[in-house]
Amino acid sequence: MSPPPLPKEKALTPGSRVDGYELVSRLAVGGMAEVYLARALGTGELVAFKRILPQHAQSDEFIQMFLDEAQLASTLCHPNLVRVYDMGTHAGSYYFTMEYVRGWDLRAIQQAARQQGRPLSIENALSIVMGAAAGLHHAHEQVDDNGQPLNIVHRDVSPANVLVTREGAVKVVDFGIAKAATRNAQTQVGTLKGKISYMSPEQCLAESVDRRSDVFALGIVLYELTTSARPFQGDNEISIWHKITHGAAPPPAALIEGYPAGLQRIVMKALQRNRSERFATAKDLQVALEELARSDALDVTSECLGRTMRSLFGDRDADAGAAYESIAVLQGEVRPRRRKGRALLIGAAAVLLAGGLVVQQGGGTENRRSNFDLPSSRGSVAPAPPVGPDAGSPVRVDQPAAALPAPSPRPRSSARSSARSSPAPRREKQHRSLGPRESSPSWNPDAPLPP
């Protein structure tokens, strides 16, 4: 049943009042939704206020996905999940409010650690993944009023959707593309939703997914936090897709000498291509990490993690806009600018499956670090140089556009050259300076595709 149509929407501005909330500022805006910081009238509590953008407020499909997200998230109540409080309509638009988290997502945390030459300690990495695993397990275990499993799967576990507060609390956010048995807006067959670099093999193949898909994605996050590299790398989405579906992640010890054997066993088990060989639940992954922390006497408390956050960011306020950037995208649908690219990816993936094309995987030990002492609260070492699509190039990020190398001119045929005695000079292609989200001129898996 389609949601009821609403009257034409009015614009919202800071200071506007919506039911029992007063909008303070806009935190983030995506392709289909926006998020405001709002204050509850009466109590003064700060909340995040999410609503559909005006241009999509009359779309039954977007509205249904929006309501599905709110209804699903409102059933979840756990310290490691961002809570949804209520939902409603105002001036022609649906909205819902959720917990306002004063913190940073893992992308911002990793960037700050790299810039300061202070990688996260092994205690911090384990603390973050253990907290995320606890929250995901709570979601996976949900049942309906009749006691039947809801079969919730997040499907977008990635650094953008894991937040850490100044006090060291870990929060998983954004169930916008989550799969659940009760959802009304279902994913179409052959549609890829999520970030390719953090997808499980079965999700890449558009097969049915269960909780073990989230375990695989969380294993990628753990791998990245403890090695400063992604386990599946390539020049483009097709290459990464093929490595996830047909290859195997290199053992962390192949990148870092002295990587703890116990931690490597946990990471590699979470990243098994065959889902039956992974941890059966996120809780099993959490317990394995807790046992490792006990055996190695590691401090995985929230206080230890909070000290790291305060040390990295000082007195700086949490970048709420960046933390809520991914939430502002109505995740139930691929961004309009990415549709063409994802369609090409699905078509190319089908060709790879049918033809059995083998993509050579980068290997060897040229990126191996020697004399490695895994970072801990008692001492840290500089992170490994990034490799793959995030590795960058000899061109610096702050290098002016004029200093960038110009592309080689396209060769002309001899017949055409002879026919034109004085060809017009070829117009040089202009290079733009790289922005903060683009570490190199090469492909970036988190950046939107060109229109």
pLDDT in the model for residue 345? 57
Query: Rounded to whole angstroms, how far apart are CA atoms 415 and 294?
Result: 75
Query: Rounded to whole angstroms, how far apart are CA atoms 293 and 288?
Result: 9
What are the boundaries of each domain within the chain? 17-99, 104-323+341-388
Residue matched to tokens 């009749």: 146
Kindly give, in sequence order, each residue whose CB lies less than 8 Å from that of residue 315, ignoring residues fewer than 6 positions away.
none
Question: What are the DSSP calls for 370-419, one per residue?
Answer: SS----BTTB--PPPPP-GGGS--SS-TT--GGGSPPPPPPPPPHHHHHH
pLDDT in the model for residue 315? 77
14, 22, 285 from 212: Cα distances, Å? 42, 41, 10
Q: Which long-range contacts (CB under 8 A, 24 or more apart) does 231-236 make?
A: 231/271, 232/197, 233/362, 233/387, 233/388, 233/389, 234/359, 234/388, 234/389, 235/389, 235/442, 235/443, 236/389, 236/443
Question: Which of 191-222 are b and which e, b meaning 16 or more Cβ less than 10 Å from the residue's Cβ?
Answer: ebbbbbbbbbbbbbbbeebbbbbbbbbbbbbb
Q: Given the DSSP bridges, would you call strands 93-99 and 103-105 parallel, antiparallel or unpaired?
A: unpaired
pLDDT in the model for residue 209? 94
156 is catalytic: yes
Q: Are 96 and 70 in contact (CB under 8 A)?
A: yes
* Residue 229 DSSP SS3: coil
The number of residues in the chain equals: 451
Token pair of 336 as six digits? 């309009």
Token pair of 355 as six digits? 């033809």
Which residue among the candidates 156, 174, 214, 390 is catalytic per the annotation? 156
Token pair of 109 as six digits? 């945390």
* Residue 139 DSSP SS3: helix
- The CATH architecture assigned to 104-323+341-388 reads Orthogonal Bundle (1.10)
Query: Rounded to whole angstroms, how far apart are CA atoms 235 and 242?
Result: 11
pLDDT in the model for residue 111? 94
pLDDT in the model for residue 69? 79
241, 243, 271 from 247: Cα distances, Å? 10, 5, 11
**Sheet-wide strand order for 103-105:** 103-105, 162-165, 170-172
Degrees to nearest 5, angle at CA 263 with 261 and 268: 95
Question: What are the DSSP calls for 142-193, one per residue?
Answer: -B-TTS-B---B----SGGGEEEETT--EEE---TT-B-TT-SSPPPTT---
Instruction: Output the tens digit of pLDDT for each of the chain's 451 residues.
Output: 455 444 444 568 888 999 899 999 998 887 778 899 999 998 999 999 998 887 777 778 888 888 887 888 888 999 999 998 988 888 778 889 999 999 999 999 999 999 999 889 999 999 999 999 999 999 999 998 899 999 999 999 999 999 999 999 999 988 766 666 655 544 444 445 568 999 999 999 999 999 999 999 999 999 999 999 999 999 999 999 999 999 999 999 999 989 999 999 999 999 999 999 999 999 999 999 999 999 999 999 999 999 999 999 987 766 555 556 555 544 443 333 444 455 555 555 554 554 443 333 344 444 444 333 444 544 443 444 444 444 433 333 333 333 334 444 444 444 444 444 444 444 443 433 333 333 333 444 454 444 4
Plot region of 194 (φ>0 → left; ψ -120 to 50 → alpha; else → beta): left
pLDDT in the model for residue 396? 32
pLDDT in the model for residue 30? 75
pLDDT in the model for residue 184? 53
pLDDT in the model for residue 197? 93
pLDDT in the model for residue 344? 54
Comparing C-alpha atoms, which of 186, 87, 196 is closest to residue 447? 196
82: exposed, middle or buried (Cβ count in 10 Å: 0-12, 13-18, 19+): buried
Supply the pTM of this predicted model.
0.71
Q: What is the CATH number of domain 17-99?
A: 3.30.200.20
Query: Rounded to whole angstroms, how far apart are CA atoms 225 and 219?
Result: 10
